[in-house]
Amino acid sequence: MSHKPKSTPMIRLRLSRREFMKLTGLAGAGLVIAWAADGAANLAAAQPGGQNGSSGRAASQNVDAWLSIGAEGVITLFTGKVEYGQGIQTGFAQLAAEELDVPFERVSVVMGQTDRVPPDSGTFGSLSTRRTGPQVRLAAAEMRQWLLELGAVQFGLSLEQLSTRDGAVIVSSNSGQSVSYTELAAGKKVGREFSGQTKLKPPDQYSVVGQSIPRVDIPPKVTGEMIYGYDARVPDMLHGKIFRPPSLGATLASVDTSAAEVMPGVVGVFQNGDFVGLTAARIEQAEAALGAIQATWNETSSDLTSETIHEALKTTRDQGRVIQAIGDVSQALNAATKRVSAVIKAPYITHAPIEPPTALVWVQPEQTEVWTSTQSPFGVQAAVARTLGLSPEQVIVYPLMPGGAFGRKTITDAAIEAARLSQAFQRPVRVNWTRQEEFQFGRFRPALLIEVEAGLNEQNELVAWQYDLYAAAYYPPGTSQPTSAGANVGAEVGEFYSQIPNVKTTFYQAVSPLPPHYWRANGGPVNVLARETVIDELAEQAGLDPVTFRAGLLRNNPRLLAVLEAAVEKAGWQPGVGWTGQGVGVAISFVNDTYIAEVAQVAVDSGP
């Protein structure tokens, strides 16, 4: 059977002979059921760059949304952030324990489960401790205040006569009198918002924060007990596979799934336009059946290669946007006594988490459950709800430990695919991408081209800095604004070297076929590499040590200068003495509110 892709979605079930006879009273195999679901629009709306990764909802300031007091003094903290090895499960527990005056061990943290935690836009950007940490502290301080007030009523004393220690409100003047939080709370809600008015514990009184407490997520990671998204399983679960095109953007011309449908273990094939997926009892059966699907594709061709992409970024760029302009850079370059020109090319790169994308979705009449590796549980909830035509509250996302994230796991593709197959087959379906699928159909940190022209004056001062950034961009489905996924992060030199009198930074975008995505610090790593490399070359032109040259540019940035000086002192920095084949290099940056200096020891195998 060969046919054109259906505009009406089709599900072709392969039932056991017994099941089939029961249903139809007929002999034979193969059953076609028309399926009415609008998949394509939902899929497009859920693509990254659309609303994916950000639920758009404000974080709750209701104390009860964040904290509860249970039996035996156990404090439970609820957060929409997820742990993937960065240590926030431990860090948040420290913050709550500190403000509430309870032992660290008595705080448990519920992370990301959408029906239990306050809404959250996702775990990325090194924001958890910086932005959510203060909210944890405020919520905990507010709860402590509430407990003190309950204690004041209980003891008939004023707040000033009470304090807190070890999960109890105590009478300051009489160490014998105390009442535990559990007894005071007695299951009641706090019923108030944290306002920021309640006093936080002064840092000089900290006993839990600032301690290097072993991470709570590590022990199950050395015994194999930690359950990652790829490990999710429920009874009666099917293994789903998606029939991928041979190249990005290809559309189905024709497809024949008849051979796959009768392969051992195959439950059925689902098709809706270009989306073809199948389910089987075992993963190897699903993989084998996938190989039995025959199709012809309409492929779009592109001349772009890794070698030509950077030239193409220049020839197909937009008119550009000046993102930083100080003085007159053209005049300053013309007047410069020494010039440095540099071209930095960065390729597309993949996130490559060792655990590829994965999701298990179970569409049920009352609710839909999702187990997945995600940085954005509420993003998954929204995407799955859109895919299935449900309201978000009908979808519960249980985030499991991701095996690496790096920005990749803000994308909801595997969850959307598993949702479609679970809806089609009315069974829990797991879709685990392979490594090959991830490398071919993941999203990429965009290719970048950076051209820098810089100039020194007669006093070897950096007086001109022209920085042109060309980024591969992409139009997300349904949008008219291209995105290059934060390629310009870190491009503005003036944030660091504010002494430069003439600066022009221009950001160009060129549309390319590959969809980009946020990747760790977006464009930051490449822009920092470009900036620091050129600074080194300028130092060489100036005949100055790279540290000395940088220090001269940091007169308005004493804190970064202090970090630089501390780093080179610790590293035993020695000013360069010509070519030896070995040496040290230095770079500085200011990223995510953090001052950074790095010293690297390098050896070169062959001469200059």
356 vs 516, beta carbon nearer another protein: 356
- Residue 210 CB, nearest distance to another protein (Å)? 17
- Residue 251 CB, nearest distance to another protein (Å)? 27
228 vs 441, beta carbon nearer another protein: 228
* CB < 8 Å & 24+ apart, contacts of 598-607: 598/567, 599/567, 599/568, 599/570, 599/571, 599/573, 607/579, 607/581
353 vs 523, beta carbon nearer another protein: 353
- Residue 595 CB, nearest distance to another protein (Å)? 21
- Residue 86 CB, nearest distance to another protein (Å)? 7
Neighbouring-strand partners of residue 474: 483
* CB < 8 Å & 24+ apart, contacts of 531-538: 531/452, 531/467, 531/490, 531/493, 531/496, 532/587, 532/588, 532/589, 533/342, 533/344, 534/340, 534/342, 534/452, 534/454, 535/497, 536/585, 537/340, 537/342, 538/340, 538/454, 538/456, 538/462
Please state, in angstroms and rounded to a whole number, the distance separating the CA atoms of residues 407 and 374. Answer: 9
153 vs 603, beta carbon nearer another protein: 603
Query: Contact 529/464 with Cβ under 8 angstroms?
Result: no
134 vs 220, beta carbon nearer another protein: 220
- Residue 218 CB, nearest distance to another protein (Å)? 6
Coil, strand, or helix at residue 81? coil
Query: Contact 63/74 with Cβ under 8 angstroms?
Result: no
Helix ranges (DSSP H) in 505-557: 524-542, 546-553
Take residue 283 and report the two structure tokens written for it.
């993963």
Residue that has been written with the tokens 């179970």 in this structure = 362
15 vs 288, beta carbon nearer another protein: 288
**φ, ψ dihedrals at 524, nearest 5°:** -50, -55
- Residue 200 CB, nearest distance to another protein (Å)? 28
Binding site for another protein (CB under 8 A): 84-86, 214-215, 217-219, 221-228, 230-231, 233, 282-284, 352-356, 401-406, 432, 434-436
- Strand segments, DSSP code E, in 395-525 are 395-400, 429-432, 444-445, 448-456, 462-473, 503-511
- Residue 212 CB, nearest distance to another protein (Å)? 9
Nearest to 537 by CA among 337, 338, 346, 340: 340
- Residue 433 CB, nearest distance to another protein (Å)? 10
22 vs 282, beta carbon nearer another protein: 282
- Residue 229 CB, nearest distance to another protein (Å)? 10
106 vs 239, beta carbon nearer another protein: 239
| Other Cβ atoms within 10 Å of 58 Cβ, number | 9
219 vs 246, beta carbon nearer another protein: 219
289 vs 542, beta carbon nearer another protein: 289
Please state, in angstroms and rounded to a whole number, the distance separating the CA atoms of residues 89 and 308. Answer: 45
- Residue 479 CB, nearest distance to another protein (Å)? 30
85 vs 103, beta carbon nearer another protein: 85
**φ, ψ dihedrals at 216, nearest 5°:** -75, -20
Helix ranges (DSSP H) in 329-432: 329-335, 377-388, 413-425
- Residue 356 CB, nearest distance to another protein (Å)? 8
Q: What is the per-residue DSSP string for 82-97? A: --SSSSHHHHHHHHHH
Query: Contact 488/531 with Cβ under 8 angstroms?
Result: no
Numbers of helices and strands, H then E, in the chain: 16, 26
